Structure 1
Amino acid sequence: MGYNVLKELWAFRRSVIFWFIPIAASPLPMYFGVAEKDFYKEAACAYVVIIMAFYWMFEVVPIAVTALIPLILYPVMGVQPSGDVSKNYLKDTIALFLGGMMVAVAIEHVNLHKRIALKVLLIVGTQPRRLMLGFMLATAFLSMWISNTATTAMMTPIAAAVMSELFKDEDKLTEEVESNEAVELDAIDVEGKALVNVIARNGLTEEQESKQPEVHFVNEKVSSRRQSMQKGIMLCIAYAANIGGTATLTGTGPNRIVAELMGNIFPDSPGIDFATWFFFAAPGMVITLFIAWLWLSTLFVGYRCAEGCACCGEKKKSGAEDFIRKVYNELGPISFAEGAVIFHFVLLVFLWFFRDLKFVDLGERQAGWTYFFTPGYVTDATPAMIVAFALFMFPSRLPRFLCCRSKDDEEKPGPVPGLLDWRTFHTKMPWHIVLLVGSGYALADGVEKSGLSAWLGQQFSKLAGIEAWIICLIVCIGVAVITEVAQNSTSTSIFIPILAQMARGICVNPYYLMVPAGISASFAFMLPVATPPNAIVFSYGGIKVSDMVKTGFLMNITSLLVLMVMINTLGVPIYDINTFPPWANDTSTPCF
């Protein structure tokens, strides 16, 4: 009876959590609303944060719907007016995200991402280790600019097709053995070795009978090798998508959340722009990606390919290469639309990198191309929107106008469609991310305006005696663990505002805690539910949860160690983490 009750409760766990959490946490605002009214706003804000944290972690309702809670509870509970809360849902970083997504959708729309991936595979080669490296390089590069989910969804079918081509002859051999009605195979385990008992039915000779077990035994070894190779390739794609997104400010949601909250909570800080994030995160991404390749190739391919390995034979290599080349050739030569998207993409990256050259001191003026504009008015969102706007106007092929019109073109002259249209963008745009990121800003703003941030800063000041690097390591581990069971954007939205106040409380540069925490939110390799790339490769089959846990545990540890090394080396010249800046000082918990 008890078991059945628990089983039914588990089936309705989301409904249980939906009602239980608000009721269980309700004494918090009720007590302070009656007994200690001076602390009511802080308690009410904490109540909202608790509800959202549990709803996000257990996905009680869609995460985008949970993101709307501040718009409801902050005004109702007297934390903030509705107008102030609403402003947080369209910040500068969200504009940057929209512009970046428009460029990413344009890249997908013209199939440029597929051309890049196939070209990388052709350059790197099709030997097992090289093939894994090729998939990781292509996936990581694409994840820097387009969404990790879209990159993984595009790469996994290519990987499956390449694997099928690598083992094509093996499949034929398997079919021949299975279709041989003259032989019945019974597997017998003798002294721990898999042997095959061959029973002759239609007058096979002893010589024929003795040869059959050998053929089937080789096929069993190759099938096991294929299964291992398939797991390795799929995990390579998932891990590379997670790692690659950390290199750029637009690569994944947590990066943008950190950048925006840094500017919101510390308005006098230098902030985080595309160039500074890239110069800090890209080297660590490359190192982590290389370590991931070594680990996965060693685990699933071995130190060297065994003799007679089907996927290493010349025939297999050329077959896989021919297949990749065939698919690449089917794309045809680079079209006018692809060339135009490349131009806009390169232009955007150029504008991002050279917007503000912080290493050149020109006083109050920015040293980049924004020197010619009002100081502080142009951010990374401006060039993103410029290029995004141009994509809707720039023609997708040569216009049928005067000299641009070919002689055999009998159509009437007129405009041609742009590189991107609204229907395509609307279909592929993850609109829920806008609400999710906006809710993170709303939470942070509510924590600040309610006074909860000052209270947290006072509590965290008790940790001031602990070494900063130890706190940073604990924070990164905590964020990575939470991300294994929750969306990385949601865990970042919960932790970053708290870490900002922790930095104030212990008198540590906020960059030292907030930037590593944002990056560590992408280091979730152990469970399928941790990130969309993990879920996609898991859904393809062949990968068990135990495989992901075994493989991802070491990757989690290694990636966090690399991150710690990078923040304590590159973080010094880029973010000046060894000093506590005046702009982070708080009057309630001053640091001298």
Structure 2
Amino acid sequence: MAIPPCRNQRVPTMTARTLSLSAGLLLLVIPVLLPAPEAIPEAGWRASGLALAMVLWWLTEPVPLAATALLPLAVAPLAGIAPLETVARPFSEPIVFLFLGGFLLAKAIEKSGLHERLAYSLLGIAGQNPARVLAAIMGTTAFLSLWISNTASAMVVAPVAAAIAGAQSGTRAFSTALMLGVAYGATIGGMGSLIGTPPNAIFASFVGQTYGIEIGFARWAAIGVPVALVLLVVTWGSLVVFSPGLRGAEIKAGSDRARPPMSTAEKRVALVAGLTAGAWLTRPLIELVFPGLALSDAGIAIAAALVLFMLPSGDGGRLLDWPTAATLRWDVLILFGGGLALATILETSGLAAWLAGTVDAFSALPILLLLGLIAAMIVYVGELASNTAMAAIFLPIAGAIAMSLGAEPVQFMLPLAFAASVGFMLPVATPPNAIVFSHETVTRGNMLRAGAPLDVIGIVVAVGLGYLMAPIVFG
């Protein structure tokens, strides 16, 4: 996901961009001009150049992330890696339309102001205990991230947290913890929902395509919510320890501003959102009662978006209009489609299987240790790169590794999907980190000190809970 520029963030120079572009183009051309090494399929050899070029450009951003995601459409057919139909199909996967519908629902929530009301209402019950206020901030942000993007949820709650922090004097540690809580809560909350963050959906789509296992909203929530809750509680405890001034102190209320009564738009959006969430969660039951009804999570999301375009807002407009819809993150949908296309290419070209065969040296390692090493690589590279890209690159390779080791692929890949969303250490790791880094109390140093142990904790929770719970939820 693209990171908005923030204070002290390094921007690549023109020379660096030129070098990165040139290196990427060389990576694309060399496998076409040179014969494939022995044991690597010809299509896999050429796919390796495409994959490396995409990784390089996703890491260095000489062109926008979404533009890099379009590379498979242009390069794969020309290089003889895969036909256009095969490469284009992932851009129209049902999971992409689930995200589109979710984004449109989120836009309607933001347009009505319902998200702000929810944030202030939940914070109103926290009282004046700093640790409870921090818990409320993190819980509110995490809950919002289940339904809207982690960027949007952080943008909503960050001003509330800043207002609370600004009302205090001599409590810089509390202010820092509060702002970091916004960023970390947004990131963790996204893990709990299928639409919360792209790696979740990439995992679900890849598993559906490759192994024929359907993972819907309710099925993901059965494992995603427990993982998010555990990580949220542990992160809250870590921030309380990181900021000892939180214990035993009292703060001035900063979230008790009066709010007008709920508007017609807020009520109607809340109704549509509630019905949508209910339909997602009860879809298996609905299909049992009405076996001929071809329901899908993506279809429910798009239907909800269409209803929002139709219903009046009560002030002469609609709950959702096209000028508002046009502002959603279309680049994220393209990036998501490109990630799925790359995953498809890695799988169909034989490159993922070849890469999996090169890890025989690690076959003697315990599965959990091997998973931990791969998860650590994903997390620490992901501190500098797109989490969508990390999921798209590593999940198909992980599936092939699992097959070569005789392990259950879904159980092997799920912890890595969670790990792709872990990123607490650097301002550029996630958009929420970048958002709170603009606050004066958040520095690189204290984000690094707070985030470094949380990255390790995130790896342990992702690998441990993900591996143990996968057989229970997915069978």
- After TM superposition, the score normalised by the length of structure 1 is 0.74
2:314 maps to what in 1? 397
1:63 maps to what in 2? 65
2:26 maps to what in 1? 23
Residue-by-residue CA offset, 1:178-215 (whole Å, 9 max, x unaligned):
xxxxxxxxxxxxxxxxxxxxxxxxxxxxxxxxxxxxxx
2:317 maps to what in 1? 417
Aligned mates of 2:41, 2:462 — CA distance in 1: 38
- 1:334 and 2:267 matched: no
Aligned mates of 1:444, 1:481 — CA distance in 2: 20
Aligned mates of 2:103, 2:133 — CA distance in 1: 29
- 1:276 and 2:219 matched: yes
CA distance 1:22–1:37, shift in 2 (3 Å): farther
Aligned mates of 2:344, 2:144 — CA distance in 1: 33
Identity of aligned residues (%): 32
Structure 1 residue 552: deviation in Å? Answer: 0.6
The structure, 1 or 2, with the larger RCO (C-alpha pairs under 8 Å, 6+ apart) is 2
1:136 maps to what in 2? 138
Q: How much is the aligned-residue C-alpha RMSD, in angstroms?
A: 2.2
Specify the code of the residue in structure 1 equivalent to 2:322. W
Structure 1 residue 481: deviation in Å? Answer: 1.0
Matches within 5 A, 1:186-335: 222=170, 226-266=171-211, 268=212, 270-302=213-245, 304-305=247-248, 312=250, 317=252, 320=253, 323-326=254-257, 329=258, 331-335=259-263
Aligned mates of 2:241, 2:365 — CA distance in 1: 38
Structure 1 residue 72: deviation in Å? Answer: 1.3
Structure 1 residue 260: deviation in Å? Answer: 1.0
Residue-by-residue CA offset, 1:545-590 (whole Å, 9 max, x unaligned):
12111111111111222223312432231123xxxxxxxxxxxxxx
Greater CA drift, 499-508 or 93-102:
499-508
2:93 maps to what in 1? 91
1:536 maps to what in 2? 435
Structure 1 residue 514: deviation in Å? Answer: 1.8
1:371 maps to what in 2? 291
2:300 maps to what in 1? 383
Aligned mates of 2:34, 2:194 — CA distance in 1: 42
1:546 maps to what in 2? 445
Aligned mates of 1:36, 1:160 — CA distance in 2: 59
Aligned length: 464
The answer to whether the Cα contact below 8 Å between 2:27 and 2:50 also exists between their aligned partners in 1 is no
2:7 maps to what in 1? none
Structure 1 residue 470: deviation in Å? Answer: 1.8
Aligned mates of 1:461, 1:351 — CA distance in 2: 45
Matches within 5 A, 1:472-551: 472-551=371-450
CA distance 1:84–1:394, shift in 2 (3 Å): same
What stretches of structure 1 of length at least 5 have no aligned partner?
1-8, 168-221, 358-365, 399-415, 577-592
Structure 1 residue 159: deviation in Å? Answer: 1.5
Aligned mates of 2:61, 2:227 — CA distance in 1: 31
Specify the code of the residue in structure 1 equivalent to 2:168. L
1:526 match: secondary structure: coil
Rg (Cα) greater in structure:
1
The answer to whether the Cα contact below 8 Å between 1:370 and 1:378 also exists between their aligned partners in 2 is no
Residue-by-residue CA offset, 1:335-359 (whole Å, 9 max, x unaligned):
22111111111111111111125xx
- After TM superposition, the score normalised by the length of structure 2 is 0.92
Specify the code of the residue in structure 1 equivalent to 2:243. F
1:162 maps to what in 2? 164
Residue-by-residue CA offset, 1:459-511 (whole Å, 9 max, x unaligned):
44564443222222222111111111111111111111211211221121121
The answer to whether the Cα contact below 8 Å between 1:71 and 1:86 also exists between their aligned partners in 2 is yes
Specify the code of the residue in structure 2 equivalent to 1:325. D
1:32 match: secondary structure: coil
Structure 1 residue 85: deviation in Å? Answer: 1.9
2:41 maps to what in 1? 39
Residue-by-residue CA offset, 1:7-60 (whole Å, 9 max, x unaligned):
xx9662122111124326744442226x87983211111110010011101112
The answer to whether the Cα contact below 8 Å between 1:55 and 1:61 also exists between their aligned partners in 2 is yes
Aligned mates of 2:138, 2:379 — CA distance in 1: 21
Match of residue 50, structure 1, among 49, 52, 59: 52
The answer to whether the Cα contact below 8 Å between 1:45 and 1:74 also exists between their aligned partners in 2 is yes
Aligned mates of 1:121, 1:260 — CA distance in 2: 36
